[in-house]
């Protein structure tokens, strides 16, 4: 029983996180190939967060690594909370690269069925789902939905931008983590994990900018291209 539960958790936690991050990296290298400069902007953001940390540990790290401390920093929640561009980038990636076209699958268990406000009635045993790809690509909800805009959810440090909901906030329009009672319980962990990964990669690696290869659909799952490769190397300076 325990093993079955752990395997299920591994599947829901690992597959989703690795697919989400692979999609984000492909979007990032694609944006780099278009000269959008997100890589440098995210690196700058991480450096700024590090520079503003006056804790003993950060001060030591600044001295020890002579200006390179941000690359080796031990990150904490207060750092990731300030990574607004990285968060916006990842949220946009979850929207733009939505990893399925059907989510929030639910079965009607009430013998009386379920009646929607518009009168549609679903019988007991019916399985329903939400077409989240279509919602995430609806121009009435997201202007120019086919454009990857890393600042779509950006909350500027200077307060000049309206506060945008964080990556883990579910809503009727942002359903990457599902919704309602069964919304993903791992989303708080996943968002920290993705932000740390992105911060680490932009700080420590360089990737050759290339156009994004065609994605693949596997049933209702939208997967990054599994055959394409990327050239990545350790940061040179």
Q: Which residues bind ligand HEM (CB under 6 A)?
A: 9, 12-13, 16-17, 20, 103-104, 176-180, 182-186, 189-190
Nearer to ligand HEM, 142 or 177 (CB): 177
Helix axes 187-204, 84-96, angle to 10 degrees: 110
Q: How far is the CB of 100 from ligand HEM (least distance, A)?
A: 7
Any idea of the CA torsion for 81, 75, 85, 89, to the nearest 10 degrees? Answer: -110
Nearer to ligand HEM, 178 or 209 (CB): 178
Instruction: Please answer whether residues 73 and 61 qualify as being in contact, where contact means their C-beta atoms are separated by less than 8 angstroms.
Output: yes
The secondary element (H helix, E strand) that includes residue 128 is: strand 127-130
Nearer to ligand HEM, 156 or 186 (CB): 186
Q: Is 237 annotated as a binding residue?
A: no
Q: How far is the CB of 110 from ligand HEM (least distance, A)?
A: 18
Nearer to ligand HEM, 84 or 100 (CB): 100
DSSP-based three-state secondary structure for 237: coil
Q: How far is the CB of 231 from ligand HEM (least distance, A)?
A: 25
- Other CB atoms within 10 Å distance of the CB of residue 8: 10
Pairing of strands 103-107, 216-218: unpaired
Q: How far is the CB of 78 from ligand HEM (least distance, A)?
A: 21
Give 165's contacts (C-beta < 8 A, 6+ positions apart). Answer: 153, 171, 174
Residue positions forming the annotated binding site: 184
Pick out the residues of the known binding site for heme.
184
């Amino acid at each position: 029983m325990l093993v079955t539960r752990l395997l299920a958790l591994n599947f829901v936690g690992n597959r989703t996180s690795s697919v989400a991050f692979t999609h984000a990296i492909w979007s990032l290298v694609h944006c780099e190939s278009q000269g959008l400069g997100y890589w440098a902007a995210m690196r700058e953001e991480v450096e700024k967060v590090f520079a503003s940390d006056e804790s003993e540990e950060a001060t030591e790290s600044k001295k020890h690594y002579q200006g390179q401390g941000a690359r080796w920093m031990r990150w904490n929640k207060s750092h990731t909370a300030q990574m607004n561009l990285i968060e916006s980038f990842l949220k946009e990636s979850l929207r733009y690269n939505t990893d399925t076209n059907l989510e929030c699958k639910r079965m009607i268990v009430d013998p009386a069925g379920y009646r929607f406000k518009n009168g549609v009635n679903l019988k007991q045993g019916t399985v329903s789902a939400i077409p989240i790809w279509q919602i995430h690509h609806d121009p009435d909800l997201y202007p120019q939905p086919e454009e990857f805009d890393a600042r779509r959810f950006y909350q500027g440090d200077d307060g000049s931008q309206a506060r945008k909901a964080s990556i883990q906030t579910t809503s009727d329009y942002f359903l990457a983590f599902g919704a309602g009672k069964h919304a993903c319980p791992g989303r708080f962990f996943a968002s920290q994990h993705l932000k740390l990964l992105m911060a680490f990669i932009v700080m420590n690696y360089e990737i050759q900018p290339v156009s994004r290869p065609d994605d693949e659909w596997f049933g209702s799952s939208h997967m990054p291209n599994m055959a394409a490769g990327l050239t990545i190397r350790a940061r040179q300076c």
